[in-house]
Amino acid sequence: MGETLFSPILKRGGLKVADEINSSYSVIMKNITKTFPGVVALANVNFELEEGEVKGLVGENGAGKSTLIKILTGAYTPDQGEIIIFGEKFGALNPIIAEKKGIAAVYQDLMLANHLTVQENIFLGNELSKLGLINKKEMTKRTNELLANLGYEGIIHPLDKVRNLSSAHKGMVAIAKALAKNAKIMIFDEPTAVLAEKEVKELFRVVKQLRNNGISVIYISHRLEEVFEICDTVTVLKDGKVVGSRKVEETTEDELITMMVGRELKKDLYLERNIGEEVLRVENLTNNKVKDCSFSIKKGEIVGIYGLVGSGRTELVRALFGADPIEEGNIYIRGKKVNKPSPNSSIKRKLGLLPEDRREQGLALRLSVKDNINLPIYTRISKIGIINSKKEKDNTFHFIESLSIKTPTIYQKVENLSGGNQQKVVLSKWLASESEVFILDEPTNGIDVGAKEEIYELINDLASRGNAILFISSYIPELMSICDRILVMREGTISGEVTRDEFSEEKILSIALKTENNKVGVKND
Answer yes or no: is 11 within a domain.
no
Q: Say which CATH number the domain at 81 has.
A: 3.40.50.300
Highest-confidence range of 161-165, 266-270, 475-479, by mean pLDDT? 161-165
233 φ/ψ angles, rounded to the nearest 5 degrees: -135, 170
Can you give the pLDDT at residue 12? 31
Q: What integer pLDDT is reported at residue 519 of this predicted model?
A: 45
Nearest alpha carbon to residue 477 among 509, 447, 501: 509
Question: What is the band of 267 on the pLDDT scale with cuts at 50, 70, 90?
Answer: low
Same domain? For 356 and 485 the reply is: yes
Residue 254, pLDDT above cutoff 90? no
Claim to verify: residue 291 and residue 236 sit in the same structural domain? no
Taking residues 103-109, report their average pLDDT. 83
The model's pLDDT over 355-372, given as tens digits with 9 standing for 90+, comes to 877 777 778 889 999 999
12 in any annotated domain = no
Domain shared by 353 and 449, yes or no: yes
pTM over the 0.85 mark: no
Same domain? 102 vs 43? yes
Task: For residue 20, name the pLDDT band (cuts at 50, 70, 90).
Answer: very low
Domain ranges, residue 44: 25-261
- Strand-by-strand arrangement of the 351-354 sheet: 351-354, 437-441, 468-472, 302-307, 485-490, 493-499
Same domain, yes or no, for 239 and 353?
no
**What's the pLDDT score for residue 23?**
61
pLDDT of residue 228: 93
Mean pLDDT confidence for 168-178: 85
Q: Is residue 108 part of a domain?
A: yes
Q: Is residue 270 part of a domain?
A: no
pLDDT band at residue 33 using 50, 70 and 90 as cut-offs: very high
Same domain? 421 vs 481: yes
Q: Is the pLDDT of residue 204 over 80?
A: yes
**Single-letter code of the amino acid located at 396:** T
Query: Over the Cα atoms of the chain, what is R_g?
Result: 25
Give the three-state DSSP class for 166: coil
351 membership: H or E segment, kind and range? strand 351-354
User: Do the domain assignments include residue 158?
Assistant: yes
Instruction: Grade residue 302 by pLDDT with cuts at 50, 70 and 90.
Output: very high
User: What is the percent of the chain where pLDDT is above 70?
Assistant: 90
**Is it the case that residue 289 has pLDDT exceeding 70?**
yes
Indicate if the pLDDT at residue 412 is higher than 50. yes
Q: How many domains does the chain have?
A: 2
pLDDT tens string 425-449: 988 888 888 889 999 998 887 676 7
Residue type, 154: G
**Cα 238 to Cα 41, 60, 112, 261, 492, distances in angstroms:** 10, 7, 31, 8, 41
What pLDDT, on the 0 to 100 scale, is given for residue 1? 36
User: pLDDT confidence of 514, banded at 50, 70, 90?
Assistant: low
pLDDT of residue 380: 85
Q: Is the pLDDT of residue 172 over 50?
A: yes
User: Does residue 306 share a domain with residue 222?
Assistant: no
User: Does residue 257 sit in the same domain as residue 282?
Assistant: no
Do both 339 and 462 map to the same domain? yes
Angle formed at CA 67 by CA 66 and CA 69, multiple of 5 degrees: 65
Same domain, 159 and 188: yes
Please indicate, yes or no, whether residues 330 and 395 belong to a single structural domain of this protein.
Answer: yes
Average pLDDT for the chain: 85
Q: Answer yes or no: is 374 within a domain.
A: yes
CA 94 to chain centre: 26
Q: Any bridge partners for residue 40, and if so which? A: 35
The answer to whether residues 350 and 247 belong to one domain is no
- For residue 524, is it within any domain? no
Residue pair 186/210 in contact (Cβ under 8 Å)? The answer is: yes
Tell me, what's the pLDDT at 14?
A: 31
302 found inside a domain:
yes
Query: Residue 18: is its pLDDT beyond 70?
Result: no
Last residue of a domain, one of 226, 261, 296: 261
pLDDT tens readout for residues 318-345: 999 999 999 999 999 999 999 888 988 8
Percent of the chain with pLDDT over 90: 44
SS (H, E, C) 354-406: ECCCHHHHHCCCCCEHHHHHHHHHCCCCEECCEECHHHHHHHHHHHHHHCCCC
